[in-house]
Amino acid sequence: DTGVSQDPRHKITKRGQNVTFRCDPISEHNRLYWYRQTLGQGPEFLTYFQNEAQLEKSRLLSDRFSAERPKGSFSTLEIQRTEQGDSAMYLCASSLDMAGGPADTQYFGPGTRLTVL
């Protein structure tokens, strides 16, 4: 079973450095989501892709954040000039768009925990 995978699982960086995370969705899933989860909170939506098109970005996604899904398969999330407030768990989820079908159920990866020193 190949669920959603994320790499790396943990990242420690110094303030001001750039970091990039990767998400590999479930292979036939055409929708991909990024969420951010801070300690003691539920995940918050960051952005959504339908195939390779980025269709929505949350206002949480400042101009230091960029996400791509170049071939409609894996996705990357880059944070430039990291700040201590970026420390969080970054979660990726994928789902299959089935018009008229059952719930567009999102399956989550294990997350990447970012610590900015």
Partner 1 sequence: GEDVEQSLFLSVREGDSSVINCTYTDSSSTYLYWYKQEPGAGLQLLTYIFSNMDMKQDQRLTVLLNKKDKHLSLRIADTQTGDSAIYFCADSLSGGYNKLIFGAGTRLAVHP
* 109 near partner 1 (CB under 8 A): yes
Number of residues that bind partner 1 (CB under 8 A): 29
Among positions 38-77, residues that touch partner 1 (CB under 8 A) are 40-45, 48, 50, 55-56
> Radius of gyration (Cα) for the chain, nearest Å?
14
Please say which residue, 72 or 110, places its beta carbon nearer to partner 1: 110
**DSSP states of 13-78 as a string?**
E-TT--EEEEEE--TT--EEEEEEE-TTS--EEEEEEETTEEEEE-TTS-TTEEEE-TTSS-EEEE
Region near partner 1 per CB under 8 A, out of 18-26, 65-73, 76-84, 102-110: 102-110
Helix (H, G, I), strand (E, B) or coil at 96: coil
Task: Give the residue, chosen from 17, 97, 98, 115, that forms a contact with partner 1 under the rule CB under 8 A.
Answer: 97
Using the minimum distance from each CB to partner 1, give the nearer residue, 27 or 53: 53
Query: Which is nearer to partner 1, 58 or 76 (by Cβ)?
Result: 58
- Count of CB atoms situated within 10 Å of the CB of 13: 16
